[in-house]
Each structure stands twice: as C-alpha cells, then as structure tokens.
Amino acid sequence: MTPDELKALIRTIPDFPKPGILFRDVTTLIGNGAGLAAAVELLADRARAAGAQAIAGIEARGFIFGAAVAAHLGIGFVPVRKPGKLPVPVLAIDYALEYGTDTLEVDPDAIGDGQRVVLIDDLLATGGTALAALELARRAGGVVEAALFLVDLPDLGGAERLRAAGVTVEAVMAFEGH
C-alpha cells in the first residue's frame, strides 16, 4: 500500500480531545491487516536505512509499531514507559505537556553503550514526548540520530524541535492542521 492509501485508513475525529482539534486516530489503520503490514514495512525500511540496532517505542501506540518494526528487522525493542511500569530501577524524565507535566521511564540496561537506537511512535505533534524519549535513550548510552513516525502534524512543529536536537525525522504521512 502507498502512503496515500494508508492515510485513507486513518480516521479523523473532530473536536477531540477538545474543541478545535482534529484527532488522527490510527486504530482504524491498525485494524486493517494489509494497512498495518504496509505501515510496518515502510517504517522498517527507514529504520534499516538509519542503521538501527534497536528500536525504542513510546507507550502506547509506539509499542505497536516499534515492536513490529523491531521484530521485522530481527533487532531488540526498548519500551519507553509511563511511570511505575518497569520492575527495575529506571532512568526517568519529566517533560511538559500542554497542561502540566508527565514522566517517561526506561530500563537503563535495555540500551547498550553506543548502540544505534531509532525512536518510533505513531504520531508526532509538538515533539515534547519524543524529545523526552530521545533524552532517555541517550542517557542510557544510545546513539539516537533518527526518529520515525507513522503520522506527522507539521503545523505543530515537533519535527523542527527534534531536528534541533540533532535527529533526522521521517514520517510515512503528514496531515496539515491540528
């Protein structure tokens, strides 16, 4: 399937989670076997080209795409978790949300020193969560120079923020607007 065909599988829900927002719901793509397989293949091609030795996926939908890409490439998967989900001492980072803060955590032993890690998530908006995950992976010893997304919302500036942090950013598709 082409990126345009995949884009047609993504449902847009107006005014969610608040008025004026167009929510891009990838669950309709995930529910389509051919669409999911094609999305994973496109992301895997980009991860391979970036020299990935491991994939770091951001909870929750980054787990779906990231784990599938890692399995497709035969490399390890590093879950970037919400707080309190890992049973070992963790590296943690707080980051800003639109209204408040949140925290991400990673097992510091999940990434080897100098290991080339590619970050994957389903959607890139403002980039705050991806920047936090990037920082965690780097603190754990990973070399993170690429971040991949199924969807980019370029009007929200996340890709520029990641590029300013020294990361190449690619997305399978983009949706203009919020």
Q: pLDDT tens across 135-165, in order?
A: 999 999 999 999 999 999 999 999 999 999 9
Read off the pLDDT band of 178 (50, 70, 90).
low
Read off the pLDDT band of 17 (50, 70, 90).
confident
d(CA 11, CA 124): 16
d(CA 157, CA 140): 26
Contact in structure between 25 and 12 (CB atoms under 8 Å): yes
Catalytic-residue membership of 170 = no
For domain 3-174, the CATH architecture is 3-Layer(aba) Sandwich (3.40)
Mean pLDDT of 33-37: 98
Q: Exactly one of 61, 135, 138, 145 is catalytic; name it.
A: 61
Contact in structure between 117 and 53 (CB atoms under 8 Å): yes
Catalytic-residue membership of 139 = no
Half-sphere exposure of 18 (CA within 13 A, CB side): 2
Run of H or E residues at 11: strand 11-14
